[in-house]
Amino acid sequence: MTKELVKGKTIIVTGGTGSIGSEIVKQLLDTEAGQIRIYSRDEHKQHELQQILGGDDRLRFLIGDIRDKDRMDFAFHNVDICFHTAALKHVPFCEYNPFEAIKTNIVGTQNVIDLALKHNLEKVIAISTDKAVNPTSVLGTSKLMMEKLITAANFLIGDKRTRFASVRFGNVLSSRGSVLPIWLKQIERNEPITITDKRATRFFMEIPEAVDLVFSAMEIMQGGEIFVLKMKRKFKITDFAKQTLKKHAPEKKISLKFIGLRPGEKLHEELLTKDEADFALETKGMFVILPQHAPPGEILRPRKYANARKASVQAYRSNQ
């Protein structure tokens, strides 16, 4: 990230106490950002993060829900940049509580859009997921709608400076709800580690890697793009499980237990479809899915990104 982009800026991170949100905050503290607002609804996580980050006077801890538009209206006052990471993101919970996912992932995102335009923010970067691609779950469907809302928001800007874009990636190691922390707890208790399906494949990347690429997307975004981060590692889930046991339990005899795919869960992950690849560009660290419609009154012109070329893949899947 070019640190000049955030120098002196007021930045808000929705879901700022989550795995991705808190890492964004930590990396922003290494810049000359003017103020960093951490917006989330869990006071305990706010307290824990405050203890970790210390007393930097640029930090503001704001308790609130993205469903609560009036509260967020106050939080967005004088903000320049928003990293929108707040979401319901666990597949089974969204399956059994679908309208809660709608209220947070769809209605909450529209609240972010409305207030970003009202307060004339410079940029909004929303975090999406591989599950939005050809969705089979409530989570994926709600995240696909989130992406659509974020892209379409660029048609509403009028004379505002605000630009919106999404960033899409797969599993982030050690994030809350990811498989690695679950396995490590099972190893600690000498229990079999649970695997959904021996055929399953997954992408993986570290939290700092993911956030570095989120900042790269923020730097080059022009509005309406979906940035697909290239995941450095993809594994058969059984191979990853065996590597985990070799690293964390070399002396223990722990077995694998296959429990079946959860409701709404996919066998393989997909980050880029063939249809999307047809109008995507590619850089060293990401694919850039270009918006297919120009805002009213704007000529649809070729976009330029440093060292970008036509995407070289027909699709981007964990089993390829």
* Residues labelled catalytic: 131
DSSP the chain: --GGGTBT-EEEEETTTSHHHHHHHHHHTTTTBSEEEEEES-HHHHHHHHHHH---TTEEEEE--TT-HHHHHHHTTT--EEEE------HHHHHHSHHHHIIIIIIHHHHHHHHHHHTT-SEEEEEEEGGGSS--SHHHHHHHHHHHHHHHHTTS-TT---EEEEEEE-EEETSTT-HHHHHHHHHHTTPPEEES-TT-EEEEEEHHHHHHHHHHHHHH--SS-EEEEPPSEEEEHHHHHHHHHHHH-TTS---EEE--PPTT--SS-EEE-HHHHTTEEE-SSEEEEPPSSPPTT--------TT-EE---S-EETT-
